[in-house]
Structure 1
């Protein structure tokens, strides 16, 4: 009798779900690190775009939240950069980074608790 890999076949989907959940946690960490460098926010968005269609619904909700967080943050950074000369841009950039930190922490807490976002496409938390 040949050995079978039935044990490895069953946990594959569970491993994928856990992998996506871990990736969502890593994405939240990348968003937080992005406050200081900006590049990791882009990396988090790309990873979320790549994995969102294959993830389970809870993690898919968080990936959507991360993608929207990226786009809203990018819009605020662009406005802040364009208004930098008027000094209001400094305030806009500061608010954008505080907003990014709050959204990332709240999203991470909800993910760890196993809760989805009520409105992952909304601007507010």
Structure 2
């Protein structure tokens, strides 16, 4: 029998797993909001790094996906910023943000459906 909290209403491990799942949904929302400011993308990555080792396999899969999304998006933003003067940077930044939206929405849908990513470290969805 799993240990219960002080009030005895729910097993601690089930509560932690549900909390990690909610955090993963919040992380996807932070990734989406990050298009406007960039800071929340970093916050989502930090939260995913902190919780991924203690999460159940499904949520861990999503945290890995979110971390990889952050690093790929950051690389595209840096390339876009460096090539801004060549006028291709604007296009690269646009593509990076569209890519971030698609990955975040698909990830959130899969999480809500209870499905993992087939390749959480890959570039594509």
Change (3 A) 1:41 1:118: same
TM-score, normalising length from structure 2? 0.94
TM-aligned CA distance change 1:37 to 1:13, over 3 Å: same
CA shift digits 1:68-103 (9 cap, x unpaired)? 000000000000000000010000000000000000
Query: 1:4 and 1:116, CA in 2 relative to 1: closer, same or farther beyond 3 A?
Result: closer
Report the CA distance between 1:11 and its aligned residue.
1.1
Paired residues in the alignment total 125
The whole-number CA distance in structure 2 between the counterparts of 1:33 and 1:15 is 27
Is the partner of 2:115 in helix, strand or coil?
coil
8 Å Cα contact 2:4-2:11 kept in structure 1: no
Q: Unmatched 5+ residue regions in structure 2?
A: none
Q: 1:7 to 1:74 in 2, by over 3 A?
A: same
Shift of 1:8: 2.9
Residues 65-84 of structure 1: pairs in structure 2 closer than 5 A: 65-84=65-84
